[in-house]
A = this chain, B = another copy of it.
C-alpha cells in the first residue's frame, strides 16, 4: 500500500491519518467548496451564491484552502476585475474523498427521505428574503 508505512498497527495509523485529514478539511464548508471547485473554477460571488455562504466566511475558508495549496486564486484582468478560484492539482488527490462523500450523501438522503433531492427543479434560492 504505502511502501514507507511500517508494520501497520492498523488502528493507530488509521485514526491518525483520518485526524490529519480532518485538520485540513475541517469545518462546515471546506469540502463543499472543494467539491464545487473540483468541477470547474468559480468566481468569488458566484461561489458565494452557489453554495449560500456569506462573503466573510467564504473569504476565510478560501484563504485557508489556499494556504494548504488546495486552491489557487487568480485575478483576471477584466473590467470589473474578477477573481477566479480553482482547484489545484494537489486537491485532485482529495477527489476520491469528495466523490465518496457525494455518493454517500446522495444515497443517504434517499435512505432518510425516501426520495432523491429535487435537484432539477427551478430551485428557488432559499428565498431572497423580502
- Footprint of B on A, CB under 8 Å? 2, 4-22, 24, 26, 28, 31-32, 35-36, 39-40, 50-51, 90, 93-94, 96-111, 115-117, 119-120, 123
Q: Are A9 and B120 in contact (CB under 8 A)?
A: yes
Copies in the complex: 2
Q: Chain A at the B interface: mostly helix, strand, loop or mixed?
A: helix
Instruction: Determine the chain B residues whose CB is within 8 A of the CB of A16 once the complex forms.
Output: 105, 117, 119
Q: Are A10 and B39 in contact (CB under 8 A)?
A: yes
Instruction: Determine the chain B residues whose CB is within 8 A of the CB of A103 once the complex forms.
Output: 17, 96
CA distance A68 to B67 in the complex (A): 34
Q: Are A31 and B18 in contact (CB under 8 A)?
A: yes
| Known contacts A15-B32, A36-B15; A107/B120 CB under 8 A | no
Add 9 more A-B contacts to A2-B116, A12-B119, A22-B31 (CB < 8 A): A5-B119, A13-B119, A14-B35, A14-B102, A18-B102, A19-B32, A22-B32, A26-B28, A93-B108
